[in-house]
A and B are shown apart, each in its own frame.
Chain A
């Protein structure tokens, strides 16, 4: 799932102030990925509204009207259409969706200022309550079948494709002792399966053209088109 974290309220207020005299503000959460990681769900919308109200009154501003809404998804137009009246009538929308949702909203309502309330961080699973890690970089050319199900692109600080660098120590990455060395995991996973020879098969330089380095990516499926 997509992970995100809340921007500091000061940064959100700075963007709001730059937008002009916004008296009518919509705060829109998103009910899927960012709800699960406790960054942009209904509760986070409610608490952000409390925070911005406090920030407003601290600087002696007249109270604004805040409208709270949390559609199931902001990343698909059909889910944000019910917000149309609220959004078009607002001076600004603070979106607590990932960057995908923020952009879908901004594109659908080009005359409304849409302010991101989150920093979208990565794709990854929860490890335990309150902890997540990145494990997929969306590179467009999956090699997990050769690497014991551990991604060398997302889980190696240097995205190495041919084994661990010289900075792997006690299973940890040289960049930080709290980061597992992806290649230590790959080597132990492949050893367990008797597949260490899989490593040498990747030796050629990776084709990055299916990744974001090839410009904005698009996907079409003619079989699904109506």
Chain B
């Protein structure tokens, strides 16, 4: 079976796939990227390399992706619409493909008011859906303007969706819109509210969207009760049930409890019909991934 990336290979094989996340540093340090890549290599099919997440300037996704690739970790390049117009995005994507990156996650991007340059001007020439449509066209050999190119880029194309954002009734149709626009896989926002996730997946199945795109359920280990409370209160679209906050607050070893909760959530979402894999986001805690994978019985990777 032909495949463009290792991630696509595993998803197509029907095995439960796992992606992780690698946050590039707020510096020019290649060493940090390499170290994180070595930490994750062998524990996931591919890792998202974030594109200035929460609008904080970091080493670029494509550059860090190439560094990770050289360490043996397959990258999922992230591309947001916040900082580049369709000219910049297409140029960078041609470059990413030329450098060998094969997975691409298309995002609208966090608003710059959250980051460390809130006085900046945003771009938002496109949004995630028009970006998906453009990338699909590029992979077929066409620029957004319709002009043809001699050698098309190659990407296994993904997108994100947040089942916990509002309007809730529009979240499953939005996933279907993304699949229609070109998303071959979807990574969800971090799941803590399993009931709500299951209801969302029911709606996704009703639309048949799970048969058009692979869905990877997002999970993340909590580090402390404080982090859980912060996420619930301050991160838009993050729904952390009080039960987990209490467990974190009462735990003798909060980090171990966080990993335990993450494994439990992973096992629950894994059993949901239509879920093809997990996206494990250990934000600035990449070393937690091997333990989560071990405890969830997901090692060795296929």
Contacts and interface: CB of A to CB of B under 8 A. Distances in A.
A binds B: yes
Interface of A: 157-171, 174-175, 181, 184, 187-188, 191, 196, 199-200, 203-206, 208
B109 to A, nearest CB: 8
Contacts of A162: 127-130, 177
Interface string B163-187: 0011101100110010011000000
A187 B165 CA distance: 13
A205 B124 contact: no
B122 A169 contact: no
Contacts of B122: 158
Interface string B102-127: 00000011110110000000101111
B173 A196 contact: yes
Contacts of B127: 158-162, 165
B166 A170 contact: yes
B161 interface: yes
17 contacts: A158-B81, A159-B124, A160-B108, A163-B170, A165-B165, A166-B161, A166-B236, A167-B162, A167-B236, A169-B165, A170-B166, A171-B166, A181-B166, A203-B129, A205-B86, A205-B126, A205-B133
Contacts of A159: 124, 127
A163 B129 contact: yes
Nearest to B161: A166
B47 interface: no
Contact of A166 (B126, B134, B144, B160): B160
Contacts, number: 98
Contact of A167 (B111, B126, B161, B181): B111
B167 A157 contact: no
Contacts of B82: 158
A204 B167 contact: no
List 5 tightest A-B contacts by C-beta distance, closest first. A166-B162, A162-B129, A174-B236, A167-B236, A205-B130
A166 B173 CA distance: 13
Interface of B: 81-82, 86, 108-111, 113-114, 122, 124-130, 133-134, 144, 160-162, 165-167, 169-170, 173-174, 177, 180-181, 189, 236-237
Nearest to A191: B169
A184 B236 CA distance: 14
A85 to B, nearest CB: 42
Contacts of A204: 130, 133
Contacts of A157: 111, 113
B86 to A, nearest CB: 6
Contact of A208 (B113, B125, B165, B166): B125
A205 B125 contact: yes
B113 A203 contact: no
A200 B175 CA distance: 12
A168 B165 contact: yes
Interface class of chain A by DSSP: loop
A46 B174 CA distance: 54
Contacts of B181: 203
Given A168-B166, A174-B111, 5 more contacts: A157-B113, A158-B122, A165-B108, A166-B162, A167-B165
B267 to A, nearest CB: 25
Contacts of B173: 196
Nearest to B173: A196
Contacts of A203: 129-130, 133, 177, 181
A161 B174 CA distance: 12
Nearest to A188: B167
Nearest to B163: A166
Given A168-B165, A175-B111, A205-B86, A163 B174 contact: yes
A169 B166 CA distance: 5
A163 to B, nearest CB: 5
Contact of B111 (A158, A181, A200, A205): A158
B177 A200 contact: yes
B85 to A, nearest CB: 9
Contact of A163 (B86, B109, B144, B177): B177
Contacts of A184: 166-167
A205 B134 contact: yes
B160 to A, nearest CB: 7
Contacts of B108: 158, 160, 165
Contacts of B169: 187, 191
Contact of B167 (A158, A164, A167, A175): A164
A56 B158 CA distance: 63
Given A167-B236, A169-B237, A204-B133, A158 B124 contact: yes
A164 to B, nearest CB: 7
Contacts of B177: 162-163, 199-200, 203
B110, B124, B181: which has the most chain A beta carbons within 10 Å?
B124
Given A203-B181, A205-B144, A164 B166 contact: yes
A68 to B, nearest CB: 36
